[in-house]
Structure 1
Amino acid sequence: MTTSTNNKLPRLMGALLVIAGIGSLGGTSHATLLAYDPFKYGDVAVPSEGQYAIGDEASGVNVLGGQNPTVGPTAFYTGPWIQSGGDSQAVKAIPSLAYPDFPLGVGGVQEETVQFNCCTFGRSGRAIAGGLGGGGARTVYESFLINFGTQGTDAPTDFGMRGHELWNGGVGDSFKAVDLFVNHFSGVEDLSLTVTTGSGASTVAVGGGGLDLNALAASNDGVHLVVMKYEFNPIAPDVVSVYLDPTGNVEPLTPDAQIAVPTSDLFITHQGAFTNFTFSGSGHVPGAIDEIRWGETFATVRPLGVPEPASLVLLGLGITVNLATRRRA
C-alpha cells in the first residue's frame, strides 16, 4: 500500500504544479489570449516588458501618445499610441483597478486628470494589426475594467462625454465604430452602446437603461468589468455584444446590450483607452480604464482570480502528505 501511494505522489504533485502555473503545461492556458495590457510601468528602457513611462498630461510630461510598449502575447498592436489633437492622456502610478473574483492587476492605470481647474479632456487610440472585420468569419472578445467617475460637486447634468471608443481609419469623432459611453452633449444620460458603420449608427442602452453616473458609481467603488464580443461575418450581420459585470467565466446567454449591423460592414482599426471630455468645473471625478484584454474566447478575457501559486503548492503538499499518511496507516 505504501508503494502504491508513493507512485501516485509525483503525478499528483505534477498536476498541482500545472494548476499553479509553474508546471510543463503552464503556458498553454493562454493559447487564445491575443493581448493583455495592464498599463505596467517601470523601466521604459526594457520595452519587451511592456512598460509605460509614468506621465502627467497637465504638464505634458510622458503623455500616452507616442508611447509604444510591447504588449503580448501576440503582435496585436502595430505602432505607438496616437493622441487626438491636443487631448493628451497619461498612465498613472496608482494601484490597478480592482474587481471581485478577478486577478489582481500588475501595473498602473490610465486615468484622467482635471486640468486648468475646470476641465477633463483626453482621447488616445492604438492601431490594431490588420484591423478587425472585412475578412472571413471571426469572433473576438475584449475586456477591461472601467470607472466612469462622478460629477462630485459639479453640476450633475454636465458630465460631458465619458467612455471607451474604437474607431475605423483613425482616431476621432469622424472615425467612430464602437462606443460604450455616457454623453450629456447628445442627451445620453445612461450607459449606452453605439455601433457606427457606413450604413449609419445604432444606439441601445446597456441593461435596458437606468445606469447613469450615480448608478454606475454605486457598486465596487465605481469599478465595472466589461466584456465586449465582436462577431464578424462576411455573409451575415456583424454583431457587437456587451456583458456588464458578468459573474464567472462562462458566457451569459443574454448580453446586456447588442447591436447587429445589417449590411455586415463593421471595421475596427484602432482601440481607445478612456475618453473623457468634461468642462463642468474642478469638482468632478474623472474616469479610468485598466486591464485591457483581447482574446478568442469569453473565458480568456474574463479570467477568474486564483490563489497565489505558492499557496496552491503548499496546499497541494499538505493534501499529498495527508493522503500518504492515511494510506500508510
Structure 2
Amino acid sequence: MKKQIALVLAATFTAQASTVSWNYDRNGTVSGSAVAGVSPAANWNNSWPTNPTTNLIDKNGEATTLDLAYASFNNWNIQASHPGVDGDGSSNKELLNGYLNAGPAGWNPPVTSSSVTISQIPYPDYKIIVYFSSDGADREGTVSDGVTTYYFKMLGAASISGSNATLTQATDTTAGGYAIGANYAVFDNLTGASQVVTVQMRDNDEWGGIAGFQVVADLGTVPEFGLQPEDQSAAVNSTATFTASAVADPAPTYEWEYSANGTSGWELIDDQTSATLVLNGITFADEGYYRVIATNTNTSVTSDTAFLDVFYAEPSITTQPADTYAVEGSSVQLSVSATGYEALTYQWYKNSTLLSGETAETLTLSNVDGDVGGVYFVEVTDSVEAGLKSTSDNATVVVFPPWNGLVSHDAIDTAAGYAIGELPLQDPTITGYVGAWTEIDFGDAEPGVIAGSLTYADPLYLGSSGDHVGKAADAAGVGADNSGRTYRKLAPAQVVVGNTTGTRYLSWLYRNGNENAVAQPYVHSVLSLYQDTGGANPSGDAARRTFEAGISDADFATTNFGFRYNDSQVGNLNLPVDGNVHLFVVKFDLSDAGGGDSLTVWIDPALGSGEPVGGSTLSDLDIAFDSLAFSDYASNSVAWDEVRWGSSFDSVTLNTNPPANFAAWIAGYPGVGEFDGFDQDADHDGLANGVENYFGTDPSATNAGITQVAKSGSTVTFQHPQSGAPASDVSGAYRWSSDLGTWHDSGEANGGTTVTFVASANTPSAGITTVTATITGTAPAKLFTQLRVSQDQ
C-alpha cells in the first residue's frame, strides 16, 4: 500500500444541491426557511437587504459559485405591501409581488426590457425558471434566454389576489402567445456556465419585468467530474495539491489512487475521502500518477490521471544583500543567507564581473573608495545537483567622500528655486535632497513657502537670507481634525541604513505660533525623519518614523518641546512651548552593530565653543532614514527654516552654506556610473551633465531640455528647467547666430542685427525659466539661439 498521505478538506468542491433561487424584493420576499417556486425550494437569495450577487446559496443554504447581475429601467410592485404567505403555506405571492421593471412609461427614455445575467453556474445540465410580473393585467411581452422566446400577456394583480398565488407557464413561441396569460417560463436542457434571461415589453407604455428565477440542476444519477485533477510540479520537501470535483445525486464520496507509470499497479491511498489531496514533505518516491474515484449508490467514476513531477528546487535566499551608503575609508559588508539540500557555495559579482576569491556568505570591502561603488550580487549553488543555483537581488554600494563641514543647507530660498506658495511639488536643486517635495494626504494644512527668514536671537548663529516653510493659521488649517505632512527624499549621501557608520549633525530653526487663530499651542508639529515610506503614516517595520522633534503633547506626553525615536522612546527637552524662534540640533552616532546607534538633541544650545555638554540622549537604537518631512496638525502658524546637515556641531550652527562644485553635485547621483564627466551624457537624453546641473535636472534620468519654442514678430521665446543654485564652478550664457558658424553674445551686434536675451525665472511656474530673444535692426533670414554652459578650470 502507498504510504499514508495528509489530506485536508480546505478548498474542496462538494456536490451541489440541485436548486439556486433568487427574487427581486420590493414589498415581497422569500427568505430563510420559506418555500416558493415551481420547483419548491427554501433559502432564496433576495435583492434586499444584503443583495448578494456572488456565490449565491442553494436550497440547502450552502454557498455555490453562481453569480448574477441584473439591469432594468427601475423596480415596481403589484401592491405596495407584503401580500403574505399563501394559504398552502408557500411564499409564491411574495415571490411575484416585486419585479425589475422593464418599463418605461411614454415620458421616460426608451428602455423596454429587464434582464438578469447568470454566471459561474455550477451544474453541467440544468433548466432555468424565470418568473415575471406586472401591476397591470393584459400587458404583452416576451421572455427569452437568447435562444428560445416565449410570448405572454401579464396576469397582473390576479397573480396574488387569491388564497394561493396563480402560477401559469408561458409555452407559446409565436406571436399568438400575446393572447395567453402567464407569469413564468421554463428554459430546459441548458448547458454552459453563463446565461442571460430577458423580459421585453411589447409597448413602451406598459410596465412589467422579471420577478425572480430558479436554476434547477439535472444532476442525473451518475457522478460527473466538473473539475479534473491537473498535473503538478513540486520541489523536494515541499507540498503538492491535487483537487477534483464530481456532482451527482446522491453526492459522491472520493478515494485517491497512485501509480508509478499511470497505466498499471494502481494503489489505493487508505482512508482518504476528500476531494483535495495534499502531499507534504515531497520526495522523489512520490513522483508518479494520481487519480480519484467518485462513488455514489449508482456507480463509480474514475477521474483523469494527473502527473506529479518532483525536482530539486534552487537554493532559497532568505536574507538578501542590502544597499549600502558608505563613506570613503570605511568598511562595507554585504551578506546573504540561503537554504538548500546539501552544501552551498557562493560566488560574488560586481557589475556582472566575477570577484575572484570572494566565495563566502559575507563579502567584506575594506577601506572603500569611489571605485568600490557599483552593483553587487551573489550566486548560491547547491551541490545536490549540477547547475542548481540562485542569484540574489542586486545590492548597490554608493561611496562618498567623508563628511567635512557643512554638507547640506536648505535655506528655503526663492533664489535656490523655491516659489512662495504651497510646498508640495516644488523641486529646487538643493544639495542633500532628490525629488520634489510630496504631500501626504492628511488634510488641508500642508506647509508652504512663506516670505522672510526666521531670525534666531543668538549672534553667534550665522543664518542666511531667504524665506521659510510654515503654515499660516487660516480657516483651512486650524481645525482640530486637520493636518498636513510634506516630505522630500534625501540624497544617497544623507541616507542612513543599518550598516552606516560615523557621526552626523542636523540643525533647524523652529517657531510655534497661534497668530490670529484659536490657540492650540501643543498640537503635533514636528520635523521628522522616515525610513522606506517617504513620510507616510507609520504602520510597522515597513513604515518607520525614525525620529521627530518639535511639539506634541499627545505623542511626547509633555507640553515642553521634545522628540521621539521610532514612535516609541521619548526625550523631554525641558523647555516649555512658546512662540519664539528656537534652534534644534541633533547628533546621530551611527554604528554597524545592532542597537549600537544613539542620538542627542539640544534646543538653544550654547554656541561658539564646539559641541556643548548636556543635551538629551537616547541610546541602544537602530537608526535608519531616507527622507525628511514637515508635519503640522491643527495648524497654529508653526514654521521651519535653515535645515542643515554637517559633520560637526559648529558646521550646522556657525558655518554659512559653501557653494558645491560640479564634482560634489554629480557625486549625489550614483546612477550616472562612470559617465560623470562635465561633457558626458549619462542618461543619453542629449543634455550633457553640465547642462543638467545648470537646469537643475537629474543627470541619470531623461529630461526634456529646451521646450516651448515660439516666434512672434521680432521676438523668439523658449523655456527650460532652472536651477536656483548651479554648481559654484558652472556658468551659462545665451548666444545667437544667423549661420550656425559664428556665435554672438547677448546684446552683441553683427551685420546690422542685434539679439538681446532676457531670462525670467520661475515663469510661467516654479522651476521653469522663460527666455525671450529680442531682435533689433536687420532681421536675419534665420535665427539660431544657444545656451552655452561652461565649467571653470
Instruction: Give the TM-score range, shorter chain.
Output: 0.5 to 0.7
Following superposition, the deviation at residue 185 of structure 1 comes to 3.7
Letter of the structure 1 residue corresponding to residue 622 of structure 2: D
Equivalent position of 2:605 in the other structure: 246
**1:93 corresponds to 2:451:** yes
Alignment-derived partner of residue 625 in structure 2: 268
Q: Distance in 2 between matches of 1:258 and 1:151?
A: 33
Task: Evaluate the alpha carbon distance shift between residue 52 and residue 113 of structure 1 in structure 2; reply closer, same or farther with a 3 A threshold.
Answer: same
CA shift, 1:31, in A, is: 4.3
Alignment partner of 1:226 is 2:584: yes
Q: Match for 1:190: what amino acid?
A: N
What is the alpha-carbon root mean square deviation over aligned residues? 2.4
1:124 maps to a residue whose letter is T
Shift of 1:153: 6.3
- CA–CA distance in 1 between the matches of 2:569 and 2:648? 25
Tell me if the contact between 2:447 and 2:632 (Cα under 8 Å) persists in the aligned partners.
Answer: no
Q: Could you report, residue by residue, the CA deviation over 1:35-88 in whole angstroms, capped at 9, with x for unpaired residues?
A: 10100014xxxxxxx220111xxxxxxx2111111113xxx2121112111453
Confirm whether residue 203 of structure 1 aligns to residue 570 of structure 2.
yes
Counterpart of 2:560 (choices 186, 190, 205) is 190
Larger Rg: 1 or 2?
A: 2
Contact 2:454 / 2:509 at 8 angstroms: preserved in 1?
A: no
Residue among 36, 56, 59 paired with 2:409: 36
Offset, 1:155: 5.0
How far is the alpha carbon of 1:99 from its aligned partner?
3.1
Cα distance between partner residues in 1 of 2:653 and 2:435: 26
The Cα shift of 1:137 comes to: 1.7
Matched-pair contact (CA < 8 Å) for 2:462–2:653: no
Where does residue 123 of structure 1 map in the other structure? Answer: 485
- TM-score when scaled to structure 2? 0.28
| Structure 1: unaligned runs, 5 residues or longer | 1-29, 43-49, 56-62, 280-284, 306-329
Match of 2:530 in 1: 167
Structure 1 residue 51 corresponds to structure 2 residue 430? no
SS in structure 1 at match of 2:651: helix
Task: Give the drift of 1:230.
Answer: 0.9
C-alpha contact 1:166 1:270 (8 A) present in aligned 2: yes
Structure 1 residue matching 2:568: 3-state secondary structure: strand
Equivalent position SS for 2:650: helix
1:133-170 deviation line (CA, Å, top 9, x unaligned)? 322421110011111224776355x7421121111112
- Which amino acid in the other structure matches residue 179 of structure 1? E
Letter in 2 for 1:266: I
1:106-153 residue CA offsets vs partner (Å, 9 max, x unmatched): 100101122326436321111112321322421110011111224776
Inter-partner Cα distance in structure 2 for 1:136 and 1:177: 15
- Kindly provide the CA deviation profile for residues 216-265 of structure 1, in whole angstroms up to 9, marking residues without a partner as x: 33xxxx0011111111101252111111111223101221x1111x2x42
Mapped contact 2:423–2:437 kept (Cα < 8 A): yes
Aligned equivalents of 1:51 and 1:99: distance in 2? 27
Q: Aligned to 1:173, what secondary structure does the other structure show?
A: coil
1:294 alignment partner AA: W
Deviations 1:8-33 (CA, angstroms, capped at 9, x unpaired): xxxxxxxxxxxxxxxxxxxxxx9422
Could you tell me which of 98, 106, 111 is aligned with 2:465?
A: 106
Are residues 116 and 226 of structure 1, via their aligned partners in 2, closer, same or farther at CA, if it must alter by over 3 Å?
same
- Indicate the SS of the match to 1:268: coil
Alpha-carbon deviations, 1:299-318, whole Å to 9, x = none? 1001169xxxxxxxxxxxxx
Over the matched positions of the two proteins, sequence identity in percent amounts to 22
> Is 1:79 matched up with 2:435?
yes
Change beyond 3 A, Cα 1:34–1:304: closer
- Counterpart of 1:298 (choices 649, 653, 657) is 649
Work out the CA distance in 2 between the residues paired with 1:244 and 1:159: 17
Secondary structure of 2:518's aligned partner: coil
Gaps of 5+ in 2: 1-402, 539-543, 657-793
Give, as a single letter, the amino acid of the residue that structure 2 aligns with 1:182: I
Q: Distance in 1 between matches of 2:413 and 2:648?
A: 24
Query: Relative to 1, partners in 2 of residues 1:204 and 1:159: Cα closer, same or farther, differing over 3 Å?
Result: closer
Deviates more, 1:88-97 or 1:291-300: 88-97
Contact 2:512–2:637, Cα closer than 8 Å, also in 1: yes
Inter-partner Cα distance in structure 2 for 1:96 and 1:182: 18
Runs of 4+ off more than 6 Å: none
Structure-2 change in CA distance of 1:122 and 1:153 (3 Å): closer
CA gap 1:155/1:114 in 2 versus in 1, 3 angstroms: closer
In structure 2, the CA distance between the partners of 1:129 and 1:153, relative to structure 1 (3 Å rule), is closer
**Partner SS, residue 526 of structure 2:** strand
Pick one of 511, 515, 518 that aligns with 1:147.
511
Q: Does the C-alpha gap of structure 1 residues 167 and 41 become closer, same or farther in structure 2, counting only changes over 3 Å? A: same
Residue matched to 1:259: 618
The correspondence for 1:68, drawn from 388, 403, 427, is: 427
Are the aligned partners of 1:112 and 1:122 in contact in 2 as well (CA < 8 Å)? no
Of Structure 1 and Structure 2, the greater strand share is in 2
Residue 4 of structure 1: aligned partner: none
Cα–Cα, structure 1 residues 244 and 184, in superposed 2: closer, same or farther, change >3 Å? closer
Task: Tell me the SS of whatever aligns to 2:586.
Answer: strand
Q: Secondary structure at the match of 2:414?
A: coil
**SS state at 2:456 partner:** coil
Structure in which a larger fraction of residues adopt helix: 1
Distance in 2 (CA, whole Å) between partners of 1:100 and 1:268 is 30
CA distance in 1 between partners of 2:633 and 2:497 (Å): 29
Structure 1 Cα separation of the partners of residues 410 and 655 of structure 2? 17
Give the total of aligned pairs.
237
Secondary structure of the equivalent of 1:227? strand
Cα distance between partner residues in 2 of 1:153 and 1:287: 12
Q: 1:111–1:286: 8 Å Cα contact kept in structure 2?
A: yes
SS at match of 2:472: coil
- The Cα shift of 1:205 comes to 0.7
- CA 1:142/1:159 → structure 2, altered by over 3 Å: closer, same or farther? same
